[in-house]
Amino acid sequence: MASQTNCSVDIPAGRGRRILAQAAAGLLRTLWHCRFGLVDAQRRRKIVGQQARRFCEAMGPSFIKLGQLASVRPDVFAPETVFELERLQDRIAPVSTRVIREAITRQLGADPDRVFADFDDEPLAAASVAQVHRARLRQAYRPVRGAVLPAGTWVAVKVLRPGIDSIIAADLAIARRWAQRLSRFRRLARWGPIELVDEFADMLGRELDLRNEGRTADRFGHDFKDDPQVRVPRIIWRHSTSRILVSEFVEGWRLNELGAAERAGIDARRLAIHGADVFMRQVLVLGYFHADLHPANLFVTPEGQLCFLDFGIVGTTTAAQQEAIAQVLAGLVYGDAARALRYSRKLGLEIPETQVEPIRAKIEQLVHTHLLAPATADVRGFALGFLSTLTDFRVRIPAGYGLLIKALVTVEGVSHAIYPDLDLMEAAQPFATRLIAAQLMRPERLRERVAAARSAAMEALLA
């Protein structure tokens, strides 16, 4: 994708002028609402975030996707902007059935009515990059995991919008021009706007190849195959290409549709706690995690399972990071701000020595205000305050660290959608304790501790 936008790209006539006009109008509105800089910094950042969201929604598919990618990058954008961009509405008018049918025919070599036993022309969902239709398998299919899917099984057919590649390429070309201009300003150049556009282009390029999503879904399903409370739709590779992804159709309720009647039929509290454990297992054991959870990507099935969808954005963690993250989590759940900060620095959070104490004091205040004092911990409030503190002190936030904090906030939102009274920090305590105990009992850690103890003993004897 990046290479496409580096070469000559045809930009639709007037598109660049329209984007520039919308951006200028948004800038004027932002200046007005900010009283030309007279409001406080936190309020100013929130206003900027609101205007950025409205601009992305007005500009359509490419900018909606760019906004969504920005919403998982608190290492680059102000936390108020990040949390505002996660509200982007990725629902737009569907492509006509004729166009979708033609796209399927080009990819699979036959009309949908010949490929599938039934094909529903009414889309289940229409988003900025793709839309989904329901169909039934004409023939039985053996997926890479689980039992054979018999003929007649309902499946979800995800189809990229025809022409979306050229639309995104043209908009990225415009974004790159702006990035080049912004890079001329010293204060803005340090954020690497050109590199950021290139990174987003690569991420969009991967998302525009639906096989990447399918592979991650199969991996996730394999890793949780022994968990009866986790469901991942199986991929039908026979009918999948880079532009079409066919997967098992799963009935269930979106989290924003989960009402009292549905909760009455499941153990909502147990499921919410299990959902938090599933996330922590991804981050702290498996080394990768679903980084784009929202109501459209997570269902609750009538059987009381969590069904995960859409693995377009995935975060990763190394073994060293997993150990440090577990310690940060333990620091937060037990109210030990100094511990959380110490291990955050091992995750790449570079804090000048002169700022360690004031930042630690601020974190202690945030931990008490948002995690310890309330009847139910407010992880979102803590994360917003913490990221804002780092922004105010001009501390650079590592990319993976910011993504992880954002994902933890998302997990709290998911847990509360299932069981509103769940305290995520309380639910995380047993997992964090078990994990740290397991880490300390690893042979290499025991050898380190024995060596350190032997050295300390020798010093004491020789003193």
Query: Could you give the dihedral angle defined by the CA atoms of residues 252, 257, 261 and 264, in that order, rounded to the nearest 10 degrees?
Result: 70
Residue 120 CA to residue 320 CA, distance in Å, equals 48
For strand 230-231 and strand 306-308, is the pairing parallel, antiparallel, or unpaired?
A: parallel
Non-local CB neighbours of 155 within 8 Å, separated by 6+ positions: 116, 134, 135, 136, 137, 149, 236, 246, 247, 248, 249
Alpha helix ranges (H) inside 224-297: 260-264, 268-281
What is the torsional sign of CA 101, 107, 111, 114?
negative
**Type of residue found at 393:** F
Residue-by-residue DSSP string for 258-269: --HHHHHTTTHH
Task: Tell me the HSE value of 211 on the side-chain side, using a 13 A CA sphere.
Answer: 6
Alpha carbon dihedral 30, 128, 282, 212, in 10-degree steps, equals: -140
Say if CB 123 and CB 132 are below 8 A apart: yes
416 vs 423: CA distance, rounded Å? 9
Q: Which of 51, 71, 70, 65 is nearest to 410 (CA)?
A: 71
CA 263 to chain centre: 25
Closest-CA residue to 243 (of 301, 178, 165): 165
Which residue, chain included where needed, has tokens 């847990």?
415
Dihedrals phi, psi of 154, to nearest 5 degrees? -75, 135
CA angle 114, 125, 402 (to 5 degrees): 125
Could you give the angle at the alpha carbon of 125 between the alpha carbons of 106 and 158, nearest 5°? 35
- For 332, 348, 387, 451, the CA distances from 339, given in Å and listed in that order, are 8, 15, 17, 23
75 is annotated as an active-site residue: no
Contact (Cβ atoms closer than 8 angstroms) between residue 359 and residue 341 = yes
Q: Considering 171, 198, 218, 292, which one is annotated as catalytic?
A: 292
- Which sequence positions are flagged as catalytic? 292
